[in-house]
Structure 1
């Protein structure tokens, strides 16, 4: 029973990892197009970006839930170095996702804000978050023992 449940949770964990990273790559062409669209279309692009960020956020919730489940029923103890580092990077990622994207998008329609500067920051934020997620993915796949 447990091996079958463990396998299902691993599958859900991998799927949620894909959903927490993959949609971010759609942001790059959207940001590029958002630079040249008129103000009447900006709202549609910003809505798509918000949907992508919400999808990534909720996939991250599933990722955490399945990861904790795997630690509870799996062979890895909580004090393993790769688990501790993954939890640390996950905390940084969660803070970064909650503050980085939301603050940038809130400033988009404020008066006196430079649209290109905001889009540059959104692009940079996206790549930094992708980097954090890839680091976390490496820790979960490689499971390096640092101590």
Structure 2
């Protein structure tokens, strides 16, 4: 018999992997950009944009499956770990939208300090990874805060 809830859990876990895993590829790419000529920078930046797009779409699936799991699962919306996950997910979504896009746009501006921008991009990547790891902890551990 086909179990829809188990399928949702599988999709949710898979989307969690795709919403955090590709970010670890960005760090070595940033290190390569630091030493590249301008012609090759565009190639690496386009790879970073694709990675961000994958993370973004995986995040959409993550939120959708998470909502469905809460609707059909045993946890009510007012459970502390669910509330904290929703709040942190909202912060993460705003951070992803503004953090990466803004930094990547600045890279092509005339007189841009590329080393500073790459430093910010590295910092943004690690902050986002940290936020996603906290979300992962909330989903796995399901702690009770109140």
TM-score range, shorter chain: over 0.9
- Determine helix, strand or coil for the equivalent of 2:75: coil
Q: TM-score, normalised by structure 1?
A: 0.98
Query: Which structure 2 residue ranges, 5 or more long, are not aligned?
Result: none
| Counterpart residue number, 2:51 | 52
Alignment map for 1:9-20 (pairs within 5 Å): 9-20=8-19
What do residues 81-103 of structure 1 show as CA deviations (whole Å, max 9, x unaligned)?
00000000000000000000000
Query: Which structure 1 residue ranges, 5 or more long, are not aligned?
Result: none
Runs of 4+ that moved beyond 3 A: none
| Counterpart residue number, 1:68 | 67
Alignment map for 1:35-50 (pairs within 5 Å): 35-50=34-49
* Separation in 2, partners of 1:29, 1:50: 14
* Separation in 2, partners of 1:82, 1:44: 40
C-alpha deviation, 1:112, in angstroms: 1.3
| Counterpart residue number, 1:87 | 86
Q: How much is the aligned-residue C-alpha RMSD, in angstroms? A: 0.9
| Counterpart residue number, 2:76 | 77
Q: TM-score, normalised by structure 2?
A: 0.98
* Separation in 2, partners of 1:34, 1:92: 28
* Separation in 1, partners of 2:107, 2:70: 41
**Corresponding pairs, count:** 146
Alignment map for 1:105-124 (pairs within 5 Å): 105-124=104-123
